[in-house]
Amino acid sequence: MFGGIQITPARIRRALLDKTPLGRLLVGQKTKEEMGVRVTSAAVDSRIPSYECPFVEPAAYHPIFDREEFERIAPVFGSDEDREYVFGRVTKYHHGARFTSRRMDVVVLEGAEVSFPRGAVLLNGRIVDEATIAIGSFLIPSIYQEVFSGPVVDLPGEYGMLPIQYWTAYGHWTTDVLPRLEALRASPMPAGVKLLMPEGLRGFNRAMLKAAGVREEDCVFKPNARYRVEKLWLPTRGCEYSNIHPRCIRWLRSEVLPRVEVGERKRRIYISREDVPFRRVVNEADIFAQLQPLGFEKLVNTQHGWEDQARIFAESEVVVGPHGTNMANSIYSAPGTVVIEMFAANHIEGSWSLAGKIVGSQYGVVMGREVGKGVNAHLWIDPAKVLQALKMAGIS
């Protein structure tokens, strides 16, 4: 153990591959240009790159859902400085306050390769960008080696697939992956075509698939390997990374949430990240000591099954928590729910404010400071600022 992190041979190997020029050379990694990947800007003057790699020779192309124009919700609770800073950062780096989503399509690829567990889809040796959430992660040498090395197993017949990059992250699965099922169902994909899935799906993945009406027998589960699929039906993403297509939220609320029995809406919850190794609130005990007398209960998502998580959020009148996948269940909140999200300047992202706009939440923010370096650093939050935001929302 070192700094709370267990050092294993696999970690050492990944570090050597990812952090050294020699590692990249040993992998034999192609350049972005050779991969057909071109780097573009996510927004004017943005320092955050996005990656584009169009589909290559799809056998068939089916437009499913039209584009939608929508607007982000500006925070209404929190100090003026915090609200202006967060909204300014989010609108600058995530396509503005008002923008248009992509159209959601389904394409049919012949002879595409699928790499599990990463969920990468390749055609003619090139990464299919529309099957991903963030294509740049596939260019990390250790991940690149997983995706591009080893024998390829031929898989005859046709399959549907929900692009599954980051499927182990609850938030990404909820908003970026599972909702593509609606587009697949609306496509001309023949009845009886099974979904191609990784064998290592977690409990929440399987529970949410079941809630969406997908039975175990509707899927083919495959171990980690590379597969050449004769015919693959693939739904595209409706938005860029961090922007959630409104239709995805509406589908989850109308098709998945009704399967959960929801009681009276009166809970007040603080969402903890104590179960994850990064972006934790280091003075969480101090904050919760101030919130508990106001009737707040602490929720650690991984201690509950998916249905319980959705129920707790749907029954809540107030939700407070640091930014992260732990806040994904706010999409199940009732209209009017007060949602206070906590950030540090090193990582500000607009997924849940956008979800709040679609759901009809009352959204607020509290800025703290990072403890460490990088987007995964922990954060320290002033409890007084949390109470100030709640007081503005009429919570005392």
Could you report the per-residue pLDDT of 95-153, keeping only the tens digit for each? 677 777 778 889 999 999 999 999 999 888 788 877 887 777 777 778 888 888 889 99
Residues 367/360, Cβ–Cβ less than 8 Å: no
In this structure, the dihedral spanned by the alpha carbons of residues 395, 268, 168 and 18, taken in order and rounded to 10 degrees, is 40
Most confident of 127-136, 148-157, 286-295, 371-380: 286-295
pLDDT at 94 over 90: no
Q: Measure the CA–CA gap between 35 and 278, rounded to whole angstroms.
A: 31
pLDDT cut 70: percent of the chain above it = 85
Scored b (16 or more CB within 10 A) or e, 326-342 reads bbbbbbbbeeebbbbbb
Quick: pLDDT tens for 119-133: 999 888 788 877 887
pLDDT at 48 over 50: no
CATH architecture label of 260-392: 3-Layer(aba) Sandwich (3.40)
Q: What is the pTM for the complete model shown?
A: 0.83
List the single range of 109-123, 218-232, 242-256 with lowest mean pLDDT. Answer: 242-256
Quick: pLDDT tens for 177-224: 999 999 999 999 999 999 999 999 999 999 999 999 999 999 999 999
What integer pLDDT is reported at residue 346 of this predicted model? 87
The residue with tokens 């970690």 is 11
* Cα-Cα-Cα-Cα dihedral sign, residues 303, 307, 311, 313: positive
pLDDT cut 90: percent of the chain above it = 50
Residues 347/336, Cβ–Cβ less than 8 Å: no
- The domain segmentation of the chain, as residue ranges, is 54-67+102-255, 260-392
- Exposed, middle or buried: residue 160 (CB in 10 Å: 0-12, 13-18, 19+)? buried
Quick: pLDDT tens for 3-33: 444 556 666 666 666 666 656 565 566 666 6
